Amino acid sequence: MREDEQLKAKCIIEKDYRVGDVDPRLFGSFIEHLGRAVYTGIYEPGHPTADEQGFRRDVLALVKQLQVDIIRYPGGNFVSGYQWTDGIGPVAARPKRLDLAWKSVEPNEIGIDEFVDWCQLAGSQVMAAVNLGTGTPAEAANLVEYCNHPDGTAWSDLRRQNGHEQPHGIKLWCLGNEMDGPWQICHLSPEDYGKKALEAAKMMRWVDPRIELVACGSSTSNMPSFPEWDRIVLEYLYEQVDYISMHNYYGHNDVETTGDFLASFLDMDQFIRTVVATADYVKAKKRSKKTLFLSFDEWNVWAHRSASYETWDYAKPRLEQIYTLQDALVFGGLLCTLLNNVDRVKIACLAQLVNAIAPILTQPGGAVLKQTIFYPFQQVSTLGRGAVLRPLLSSPRYETVYGEAPVLQLSAVYRAEQEEVTVFVLNCAQEEDVELTLDFRSFNTVLPCEHLVLTGPDLQAVNSFTEPDKVVPRSLTLPSCEQKIVTAKLPGLSWNVLRFTTKK
């Protein structure tokens, strides 16, 4: 190819043209009692790295590297059949239960008290989910009292008796999980869910008025009831909740081509826009002065392979997807979409964190592994906290099942205190490098700092316990800045992190 035929793109980065500030809870994750997420995941007594509570220190070290601010718990489908009282008190006295959601045996060795302890070690907050499947509004309120009331009541004194003198102070609560799904235990119509969740919300807030509440939105954008479910639910709950949830997963088996898969960020963006429009419609209908925000509390790349479980078992592998380089590229594009919608998406939870569709994989009794998707999440979580700027991007485009997509998916974050701008870029061009010109005209001074890239000749390359570093970011050199303009070469099929220092 001749030099003048190279794909080229331009982007103006204006420091005062802002989408909004990043809520740290955008970098959340999810631990469900599912497969090996808890048992032999975060918790494995007898492991060489286990602490006195049985938590794996090697896993905690990687979670800290990800800087996960909030973790949703205990589900997921699991929560719709979960009796939270089974997970408190002396461990030896806790009952073993059949988990109908994942056809397993739940020993209840880990419950809300232990999970709060683990989150404190990880530097994370808890995003607690209440059971609105088999559970009742009264049981949800009792859980809030157990966790958040100081003392002097039956539930708060029981928490103190169980070894936690101080309240857990859990601020964020999910009103059930995916109640629109027929797969959910005690699946409800939107009207019935709206009524039940309304009573739960009232009682939970009466116990602790400081909490924030998340209503169940549609399980995916492909549900036949979407977005009507969201509209009906919000007409019951709009003034009682702070967020509506969104869940969606993206897999290569959902589309025909690599180009379509890479463009999954378009589908995520359209999903967000539709939920925003639905929430704003209800706001207008109710003549409310309140703006509702979004909690994208389940998202990831996932192959969606169906599986049947023949026998009841304990801590057996479930949904343990091995992530490829291609998955990591798609993952990065999705992260950019979340950043570019921070004006309305305040919370997001990567589902999940350990073993089950996760960036961290463990061997029982053995090693821990960073999967390919670990790296984009870590980079955005550590460098993507600040003000998201609205990029003025001119890029080549290509056709996908989601419509016409830009070859580059880009997000820019300005961290004023650190005097730094970071540009995250997915290059979807499959056979060509892209020359990206960045124009920092509104900044006084811009100095290139670092270019990290995740790419390689084999899109199906994976990290494994025998080859843990097969897919890792590598450094490239950024050219010098001329008149606040930088031209960077982005390899074909690559995830890029471009860092620049600035002066006020």
User: Active-site positions?
Assistant: 178, 298
Cα dist. 180→136, 212, 293, 296 in Å? 17, 22, 20, 16
Ramachandran category for residue 439: left, alpha or beta (phi over 0 → left; psi -120 to 50 → alpha): beta
Going by their DSSP bridges, the two strands 28-30 and 345-350 should be labelled as parallel
- Please check whether residue 341 is in contact with residue 272, taking contact to mean a CB–CB distance below 8 angstroms: yes
Q: Is 375 helix (H, G, I), strand (E, B) or coil?
A: helix
3-state secondary structure of 167: coil
Other CB atoms closer than 10 Å to residue 322's CB: what's the count?
14
- Locate all alpha helices (DSSP H) within 45-188, ordered by sequence: 57-66, 112-122, 137-148, 154-161
Separation of alpha carbons 165 and 154, rounded Å: 14
Interatomic CA distance for residues 441 and 12, integer angstroms: 8
Cα–Cα distance measured from residue 115 to residue 354, given in angstroms and rounded to the nearest whole number? 14
User: What span, in angstroms and rounded, lies between the C-alpha atoms of 312 and 41?
Assistant: 19
